[in-house]
Structure 1
């Protein structure tokens, strides 16, 4: 590889950092508001807008005249070790941002521990059985359980944990960050769904590892099943390590709603509050720390990936395998799950989703209202049915866009070095949603664009990892030595090795995209509050989870059914 190609990921990462800084600095101009007026309102909410006070505040804060000057000036100060001073509190930015980052890192580490334990619990029985009896099937039940768990909205799980464990049983505190006890509920809310997604990532890697020739060789030598299982697990973790690093960074950036629910002063909440208050020094510092941390973790994941592969990764001796699905029977289960979801939607479409009946506010489920009523007396079954196309259709479209971009970016890479994709992965989706909302206004389309803007990154990194492994295999090296062009190598050898696992990964992310749109709706950046989109219904119901828990049941069950359909269709696709 030429020196220019080696430097390309670093250059693209640096350019992405500068562009992110420019976009964040441009938010006041995108919103077409005066940052001095916003800061004055936050500082003195009871005071009116006085032109003289605004001019004095501009002079005091040395507000930039345009976003380019503001971003470049801030980057220059950072290069000298100065993160700036808050426009609102006039306190140094460094201590507050570093303290918030420490809180978020603590929460993320706890959530990663929960996710790892959950993934091992889901995968270990299937891996052991496959290592003992042969074959590549690790079990459909664990795959479905992982997908269902990954589809549970973190905010819903957190609200249920607060209502049942904290308020109902009084076992743990519900808010604050005063000690280890405060970590348990938010770590479970973040870690359990992440564990489901992690299990799905490792499932594909495990089945591919079980299909490699060395596994058959070990079995023919009479290697104990426990040794085979450990070797397969090591190979699967090696392939999924970059994805695991992305998952940790994603937990840092996507935990804003959970932090707000539990009153945790993390960096995501700090960045969101700073952007809303137009306290740009704090917002820029918080987001840039997330970006730098994302680059560092992305690079660590790449180094760990290489270390786990060992000499085979660089010597053209890396094995590859395709899971054998010949022994798997086609199942009617995905059609049954899809039928249940379709029946719920079709039966609910004739029902009135818009009429409000004050007399049945928060009515419990009954014969006339099988799923109950919302806070203004609307039929929840009807609203879920009418919102299915919005939620499912938008999530599928977002995932399809991300899949195409991810494959194009990942297959074209010859190096696994961290770059621009890792920078974008570190951005909190909420901040991206704020940028899109500033340009196009809040709405379902803006939420979909925001989720798509970062949703392609895990697929691209997955494709990048598999493409690098494929290029390191012996048959690709032989094709190169035989004179095959780079385009032919990518089309005939690399793409077939990448497209299957990445498409299955994309299918597993359909519910994740729906959850991302739901989280933005929960924060007021997605669908309108009166929209039947499942995220908006979920957001409107969370305030009543203790009084009327059935109000969150309908959208949550819809998302879980979507996850079951996706998981089972994915398994059938693998077996067909």
Structure 2
């Protein structure tokens, strides 16, 4: 029986160094993944060191400086109130990145346990949970998030709750599919024969071996979540002004596209780079975790 233990305790620490090197080489061969990782790291550092990097206070207004184009004084120009766009974009990265990560945490923290329990126990419980998940997935995600955010009211936390609630069914279904393909594997049956409790089997043997697609989808969903938060903010359901937020900045600049297009262009560029970074990073992680 003792010979079965190495097969039962599958964890990241058990991965051979040679396998880790191969995974790293696969990631480095994907040039777009490296670009994505660099973009994500740049955005994270920008959010962390925003007080150091921002040349001006993000809420400071100077009406005499309104609608100034990009220059040496204001690298990205100013908005209709004379606020420095670069400073607002730097501070706006905090809310956008933080919201994206929190949304994924909500989806993973609630959806994964639901899918794990549903797939492991099966039967009537699985049928009830999956029919509820199917009903939630029948609604267009952004429309459902918009309805929830409208009911809760304009706020960054409410936007996170609304979009996070929409991502729960997706993670529940992905996790359930992984559990169904793993729960009948030999090492799971061996754990049952050795007297492992159902919770130990679920958490130690099934969940760890289901982590790969969950991690990849979670990384991809951060970019989607940032875009969704920007969409709600553009519609006035994000953090109220004057808080710097990429979506609300995009909406403010849409009124002055002919006069000052840079007010919308640079926040839109920031959203584009964030989504591109997390999407390409997710593709790279998928290559790393692919057993083939």
Q: TM-score, length-normalised on structure 1? A: 0.39
RMSD of the TM alignment (CA)?
A: 3.7
Does 1:429 find its partner at 2:134? Answer: no
Match in the other structure for 1:419: 131
Q: 53, 62, 80: which one pairs with 1:375? A: 80
Match in the other structure for 1:141: 31
* Higher mean C-alpha displacement, 403-412 vs 525-534: 525-534
Distance 1:353 1:483, change over 3 A: closer
Distance 1:431 1:493, change over 3 A: closer
Match in the other structure for 2:16: none
- Distance (whole Å) between structure 2 residues aligned to residue 343 and residue 498 of structure 1: 32
Deviation at 1:532, TM superposition (A): 0.5
Match in the other structure for 1:466: 178
Deviation at 1:393, TM superposition (A): 1.8
Q: 1:157-201 CA distances to partner (integer Å, 9 max, x unpaired)?
A: xxxxxxxxxxxxxxxxxxxxxxxxxxxxxxxxxxxxxxxxxxxxx
Distance 1:570 1:536, change over 3 A: same
1:348-497 mapped onto 2 (5 Å cutoff): 348-414=53-119, 418-427=130-139, 428-438=141-151, 440-480=152-192, 484-497=196-209
Distance 1:339 1:388, change over 3 A: closer
- Distance (whole Å) between structure 1 residues aligned to residue 44 and residue 109 of structure 2: 28
* Aligned 8 A contact 1:341 1:562 in 2: no
- Distance (whole Å) between structure 1 residues aligned to residue 24 and residue 243 of structure 2: 48
Distance 1:340 1:545, change over 3 A: farther
2:210 match: secondary structure: helix
Unaligned runs of 5+ in 1: 1-133, 148-331
1:457 match: secondary structure: helix
- Distance (whole Å) between structure 2 residues aligned to residue 458 and residue 538 of structure 1: 29
Match in the other structure for 1:227: none
2:118 match: secondary structure: coil
* Aligned 8 A contact 2:227 2:275 in 1: no
Q: 1:99-152 CA distances to partner (integer Å, 9 max, x unpaired)?
A: xxxxxxxxxxxxxxxxxxxxxxxxxxxxxxxxxxx999374324467x6xxxxx
* Higher mean C-alpha displacement, 410-419 vs 565-574: 565-574
Match in the other structure for 1:31: none
1:341 match: secondary structure: helix
Deviation at 1:360, TM superposition (A): 3.8
Q: Which has the higher contact order (CA 8 A, sep 6+)?
A: 2
Match in the other structure for 2:218: 506
1:539 match: secondary structure: helix
* Aligned 8 A contact 1:363 1:372 in 2: yes
Match in the other structure for 1:273: none
* Higher mean C-alpha displacement, 525-534 vs 511-520: 525-534
* Aligned 8 A contact 1:333 1:568 in 2: no
- Distance (whole Å) between structure 1 residues aligned to residue 40 and residue 94 of structure 2: 18
Match in the other structure for 2:266: 554
1:196-345 mapped onto 2 (5 Å cutoff): 333=38, 337=42, 341=46, 345=50
Unaligned runs of 5+ in 2: 1-22
Distance 1:392 1:141, change over 3 A: same
* Aligned 8 A contact 1:399 1:452 in 2: yes
Deviation at 1:556, TM superposition (A): 3.1
1:536-555 mapped onto 2 (5 Å cutoff): 536-545=248-257, 547-555=259-267
* Aligned 8 A contact 1:345 1:384 in 2: no
Which 4+ stretches in 1 moved above 6 angstroms?
572-576
1:180-191 mapped onto 2 (5 Å cutoff): none
